[in-house]
Amino acid sequence: MHLTYRTNRNRRVAVLQLIGADKKWPSLYDAKLVELSANRLRFVGAERTGNAWHVQEWICDLG
């Protein structure tokens, strides 16, 4: 995972990207870490598909 920031209309937004995967995944905009444990990370944010925005949750199991 790679966290970067993009600026749009003078607003800085966190963007989480999954890199090195077997396929291209959409970026998670305005990503917030909502759960952190020894073996799990959970993020909530928004993904864009065409002109539509969707609330999305990423659950990353470590191990």
In order along its 63 residues, the chain shows pLDDT tens digits of 899 999 988 999 999 998 887 878 889 999 999 999 999 999 999 999 889 999 999 999 987
Cα gap 61→51, rounded to integer Å = 30
Give the position of tokens 């920031």: 5
Closest CA to 17 of 27, 30, 4: 27
Give the position of tokens 């598909």: 49
Domain that holds residue 32: 2-61
Cα gap 15→25, rounded to integer Å = 13
Token pair in block for residue 59: 């659950």
Number of domains composing the chain:
1
Is the pTM for the entire model greater than 0.85? no
Token pair in block for residue 23: 């396929």
